[in-house]
Structures are given as C-alpha cells and as structure tokens.
Amino acid sequence: MRIDNLQYANWSEKIFRQMNDGAVNAVHVTIAYHENFRETVLNIEQWNRWFEQYPDLIFAGRWASDVQLARETGRTAIFFGFQNPSPIEDDIGLVEIVHALGARFMQLTYNNQSLLATGCYETHDTGLTRMGKQVVREMNRVGLVVDMSHSADRSTIEAAEYSSRPIAITHANPFDWEPARRNKRHAVIEAVTSNGGMLGFSLYPHHLKNKTDCTLTSFCTMIAKAADTYGIEHLGLGTDLCQDQPDSVVEWMRVGRWSRDIDYGEGSASAPGFPDMPSWFTDNRDFANIEQGLAEVGMQPDEVNAIMGGNWYRFYEESFTPSPL
Amino acid sequence: MRIDNLQYANWSEKIFRQMNDGAVNAVHVTIAYHENFRETVLNIEQWNRWFEQYPDLIFAGRWASDVQLARETGRTAIFFGFQNPSPIEDDIGLVEIVHALGARFMQLTYNNQSLLATGCYETHDTGLTRMGKQVVREMNRVGLVVDMSHSADRSTIEAAEYSSRPIAITHANPFDWEPARRNKRHAVIEAVTSNGGMLGFSLYPHHLKNKTDCTLTSFCTMIAKAADTYGIEHLGLGTDLCQDQPDSVVEWMRVGRWSRDIDYGEGSASAPGFPDMPSWFTDNRDFANIEQGLAEVGMQPDEVNAIMGGNWYRFYEESFTPSPL
C-alpha cells in the first residue's frame, strides 16, 4: 500500500496518471493555504469536476476503506486537507461542515499566528488559544485531524497533549537531521508520537540535508533512525510534492494576503522559487525508489510497507470517523 | 410509515418530541428561503447543533435507508430542502456541494423570477432559463430533487419534461379543489405525475377549501379524487406546517430582501400573519387524524400507507443517490 500524506501539485491528467502508474493508493492533497470558506468551497468544486472528468484515475476519498477501494480498482483516493485554518474563518460550526465536504486534515497554523495557535515563523509562541482549544475538541468530535506541520514548538506540544485523538505532522523531518526552521525538534516529535500521532517525512528540498542534492541513502537512514527513536508505527510519508507549480504559487503560499512585503519563507531573495526535487523523487512514479532505499538501509519488507502507507492507513482508520459518544 | 415532505416550524425540543410522539419517521425541512450560500451553511450549522443536542429524537437524513433507521430506532430523520435556489447563488458547482451537505430538495423559484425559472406570482413565465436547464441537469446528476411548489405553470411543466428524473411539487393542492394562486392546475399536476413525479398535499390554510375551517372529510375526499385522476403512487403529504413561527417569519418568507414594499403573498393587509391551522391538524401528533379521514372516505389500509409515507419513501429511494453513469 502506498499513501502520500501531503502533495500540492498543479493538478492535471498527467499527474493523476502518474499517481496510477506509481500505484499510489491515496494522496492527501492541500486545497487551501489562505482561502476563506467560500474560496475553499470553490476549490472543492474544482476537485469535483476532476473527479467527474477522470473517474478511472481518481475519486473522492472519505474513509480508510476508500484506500482499499482504490487499491482494488486501480485508482487513487484523494483526501482533502488545509494548511491553515482560514477555511473555518472564526466559526467553529464550519469544522463539521468542512468535514462533511471531505476535509480530513487541518493545520492549526501556516507559519504565522492564527486564531488557533502559533506558526513556526513567529517570535512568540502562545500555544493553543482559547478558540484553538475549542476547535481541537470539535475536530476530535467530528474526525478532522489536527496537523501541526507549520506550527511552533509549544503550540505543537500543547496540541498533542490537549487533543483527545492522535494528531499529525504530515510533512516535516527531524531537526536533528537537518536544522531547517520547518523541521521538528526531538521534544516536538516525541510529544506527537508518544500520544499516538504520526510524522510524515517530507521530500521538499528545504527540509532535506543538502537540499536538492540529498542522497536517497541519507534520507532513508534518517527514517530508519527515527523508527528506532519514535517507533516505526508512527512514521509515514508526506512528500510535499509541488509538481509543475509556477513560482507565483510559492509566493501565494508564503504571502497570501497578509503582507505588503515579500516573505521568502524557506527560500531567499536570490532563490525565491520552488527548489528542484532530488533526482530520485520527482513525481508519483518514484515511490519504488524510496522502497528500495529503505530496504537497502536494512528495513524488512513489513517495515517498508508500514512506512510507505500501512501506518497512514491505520491512522486513517482511527481518525476520520466521528468520535464515539 | 409516516413522512411529511415539507415543514418549516420554529424548531424546538417540543416539536422534535411531537414528531416522535406522532411516529413521524422523516420530515423534509426547509432551511432556506432567501439565504445565500454562506447563510444557508449557517442554518445547517444550527441543525448540526440540534442533531448533537437531541440525538434520541432526530438525526440527519441522507438516504432513503435513514427513514428505515429512524423507524427502527424510534426517531425522526431530517432531510434538508430549499424553497429557493438562492443557496447556490450563480454557481452551478454549489449544487453538488449542497447535496454533500444534505440538501435533497430545491425549488427552482420562490414566487418570483429566479435565475432558473419563474415563480407563481410573476406576470410573465419564461419557463426554464439557460441556467435553469443546466442546473436541472446537474441536480439530476447529483441527486437533488427539483421542487416546483412555488413555480409558475409553464416553468413547472417544462421542468417536469426537461428533467431526466422525476420532480416534485412538495406542498400544494389541486387548483380544481381550491383555486388559490399556489395550488396547481390539472395540466401541471399531470405533467409532474405522468413523468413519475410526486405531489405532496398541503395543510397550509391558504391552500385549503374554506382555509382554517376546511373539514377533514373535504381534504381527504380531495386526496381520493386525486388518486383516481393521477394514480395514488404519485401522492403524499407536505403539510407546510409552520408551527410556533412568529409573524415576522412569514414576512421574511414573502419579502426577503427583494422588495422595499410589503408583499402579503397569500395573506392580506387585514390578515398579514400566519393563519390558524385546521383543528384536526395542528402539530406532528395529528397524522393519525388524516389516516382515519382517508379510511373514512374509502381508502384501503395499503392505500392510506402509501399516501402517509410509502410513496415518498419509494421516491427517496429513486431520487437521492447520484445518477448512474
């Protein structure tokens, strides 16, 4: 089973075919960075058109069982997520609404302070706000996963402890391996995984040792070490694949409508665009390379399968349905 | 089985208990008159809170099978509908979105001209507009029922013929029985029912012979005659019960935000408010009276059951799921 728990590509039939060619059973796709509720619904409408246009390639994923259905029918189940809580605006009732529309992951922050918590680029970290605690409880109730990939340390640790259901860091790597601002310190990963949560390893070059030049062996050795440290059952992939996106999109991701100044995020004035992906992972057909790399650093087949999708599948089973009363 | 295919009450625990006490298995409730998309979502959020507060009395109905579930668990399944297409604004993509949020009936018009068709109070009847035809096809595709209760004759006949799936007049009576503006002429009912559609009989006094003083026998005799004319399988109830509503609500229904002048609709300057219901039907506990009345005008038990809910149940089975590819 292959599940990629984070992509934000410039979607096209070509990419959907590559998902199928790569035998990717499920992808969690980002459908909002800074969009408000109505704009997010417009993005869902666009996905509905793609589901209608390419029924042999993709369909709307709602439950873990849809991953099995995708495998049985040779297609890819698409699960929606937000990298920011902007789609719920200031209205906690929208948590249940967006879940009904297919949202399964929502970051409490994207780099900046939000109404709910603090992003990883802020100077001061409030932890969960008053509304943040209410929204985490509501997300727990309806089955919308708390994702802290772009959040600050204290906020992440508090969310992991406050949430009654396991949370996720869908796309980031250990800070100990590569000290990028978006990578996660030991105490943060420990808080998430010790409470049953998941870490999805990112292939976004800014999160990799030596960025685009990162070797497959270095990446897979890092995963094997994380398995020893945190337990393999808490680990999966969230490649952050942003295939075919123009550089205008990374500017939207970073700046949205919140700033009059350019913010380069993980880039810089001299390299403001999307970085090139490592040669061994450029699109959805390259997951076999990672499987081979994991085997070469000593992982057993069942361990490789757990990393490639088995763990996310179990997490989907536990996380997407409403909480029992 | 008891299904009431139109109510717009001032919802409360009292009314939900009366639904249960009256063994009403399903109610199609109006959740929008003039609301735009975001306002309609707020109304759904309010219903979600009621579902959470009163899980022993009501739950969100999505499919025909939920009516059976309601019967088995002694509750009432609530199905959403709009009396106006205002919730989809000018965006055909919202048809699939509102269906995902539970909408199962949508009127193409409410008294006035809409973007889709003509209401029954207009002077000129355009029939289905360009967008109207597109939206009917999309409603057919996703499983949202076309409801023409407040539409003009030509628009209704065109919708019945253009729609690839049966449509409904959820709440109105034959004009031949009571010549009210909102009641339906023979050719209109004929077009709807001969194409497999449904007529739900209304208990709203302005649609009744002698209004509030209408007798149960007159009402049931009218139903028996309609069964002879159109076929009993096309008939059910849509009481239009507006229980406990303040008169400010009927003004909202009639005037919305579209007029600076007061429009009295079916009322008048001397009687602008909600009329009193007939004594034999004042709330959800009175369906047994109608059953008794139907038996007394000569209907057999299976015929009474068909009128009281069996026909709507079959229609729900045929209508709410997406159209096969």
ipTM: 0.89
> Across the interface, do A38 and B38 touch by the CB < 8 Å criterion?
yes
Q: What is the pLDDT of residue B283?
A: 98
* Domain A3-107+166-311 sits in CATH 3.20.20.140: yes
- The pLDDT, as a whole number, for residue B266 is 87
Nearest neighbour of B101 by CB, restricted to A45, A55, A97: A97
Could B93 and A48 be called an inter-chain contact, meaning their C-beta atoms sit closer than 8 Å? yes
From B42, B49, B97, residue closest to A45, measured CB to CB: B97
CATH number assigned to the domain covering B3-319: 3.20.20.140
d(CA A246, CA A69): 33
Structure tokens at B223: 């139903």
Mean pLDDT of chain A: 97
With tokens 């707020």, the residue in question is B42
Under an 8 A CB cutoff, do B97 and A37 touch? no
Alpha carbon of B93: minimum distance to chain A alpha carbons (Å): 5
Report whether pLDDT(A3) > 90. Answer: yes
- A219-229 pLDDT, tens digit per residue, is 999 999 999 99
Taking any CB pair shorter than 8 Å as contact, residues of chain B touching chain A are 37-38, 41-42, 44-46, 48-49, 55, 91, 93-94, 96-97, 100-102, 325
Whole-angstrom distance, CA of residue A103 vs CA of residue A205: 27
Please report which confidence band the pLDDT of residue B68 belongs to, taking 50, 70 and 90 as the band edges.
Answer: very high
Cross-chain residue pair A97–B41, CB shorter than 8 Å: yes
| Whole-number pLDDT of residue A102 | 98
The answer to whether B38 contacts A42, with C-beta atoms less than 8 Å apart, is no
According to the model, what pLDDT value does residue A265 have?
Answer: 86
Subunit contact B101:A102, Cβ cutoff 8 A? no
pLDDT tens-digit map of A292-312: 999 999 999 999 999 999 999
Q: What percentage of residues in chain B have a pLDDT greater than 90?
A: 94
The pLDDT of residue B3 is 98
Q: How close B206 gets to chain A, by Cα (Å)?
A: 36
Residue of B nearest to A92 (CA): B45
pLDDT digits 0-9 by tens, A249-279: 998 999 999 998 988 888 898 988 899 999 9
How many whole angstroms separate alpha carbon B318 and alpha carbon B64?
9
> Which pLDDT belongs to residue A183?
98
> Is-contact B118 B72, C-beta < 8 A?
no
Q: In this complex, do B55 and A93 lie within 8 Å of one another by their Cβ atoms?
A: no
Instruction: Look at residue B71 in the predicted model and tell me its pLDDT.
Output: 98
**HEC string for chain A:** CCEEEEECCCCCHHHHHHHHHCCCCEEEEEEECCCCHHHHHHHHHHHHHHHHHCCCCEEECCCCHHHHHHHHHCCEEEEEEECCCHHHCCCCHHHHHHHHCCEEEEECCCCCCCCCCCECCCCCCCCCCHHHHHHHHHHHHHCCEEECCCECHHHHHHHHHHCCCCCEECCCCECCCCCCCCCECHHHHHHHHHCCCEEEECCCHHHCCCHHHCCHHHHHHHHHHHHHHHCHHHEEECCCECCCCCHHHHHHHHHCCCCCCCCCCCCECCECCCCCCCCCCCCHHHHHHHHHHHHHCCCCHHHHHHHHHHHHHHHHHHHCCCCCC
Instruction: Decide if B35 contacts B76 (C-beta within 8 A).
Output: no
Reported as half-sphere exposure (CB side, CA atoms, 13 A), residue B173 has a value of 26
Average pLDDT rounded to a whole number, residues B298-307? 98
- Per-residue pLDDT averaged across A238-247, rounded? 95
Residue B325 binned pLDDT confidence (cut-offs 50, 70, 90): low
Task: Quote the pLDDT of residue B235.
Answer: 98
Nearest to A45 among B41, B49, B93 (CB): B93
Tens of pLDDT along A81-126?
A: 999 999 999 999 999 999 999 999 999 999 999 999 999 999 999 9
8 Å CB contact of A45 and B96: yes
Contact B107, B84 (CB under 8 A): yes
Percent of chain B with pLDDT over 70: 100
pLDDT in tens, B271-291: 888 999 999 999 999 999 999
Residues in chain B within 8 Å Cβ distance of A48: 93, 96-97
- Could you state, in order of their start, the residue ranges of all structural domains in chain A? 3-107+166-311
> How many residues are present in chain A?
325
Which one of A93, A96, A101 has the shortest CB-CB distance to B100? A101
Find where tokens 């602008």 sit. Answer: B272
pLDDT tens, position by position, B131-154: 999 999 999 999 999 999 999 999
For residue A45, the distance in angstroms to the closest alpha carbon of chain B comes to 5
Q: Give the per-residue pLDDT at B260.
A: 87
Three-state secondary-structure class, residue B150: coil
- Nearest by CB to B96, from A48, A55, A94: name it: A48
Instruction: State yes or no: pLDDT of A150 exceeds 90.
Output: yes
Check CB contact under 8 Å for A101 and B97.
yes
- The pLDDT value given to residue A266: 87
Residue B208: the pLDDT is 98
- Asked whether B167 and B197 are in contact (CB, 8 A), the reply is yes
Nearest to B48 among A44, A55, A93 (CB): A93
Whether the per-residue pLDDT at A44 is higher than 80: the answer is yes
Query: How far, in Å, CA of B46 to CA of B58, rounded?
Result: 13
Alpha carbon of A100: minimum distance to chain B alpha carbons (Å): 6
For residue B265, the model assigns a pLDDT of 86
Residue A325 in this model has a pLDDT that exceeds 60: no
**Average pLDDT rounded to a whole number, residues A184-212:** 98
Check whether B206 has a pLDDT greater than 80: yes
In the predicted model, what is the mean pLDDT of chain B? 97
Give the residue-averaged pLDDT of A12-26: 98
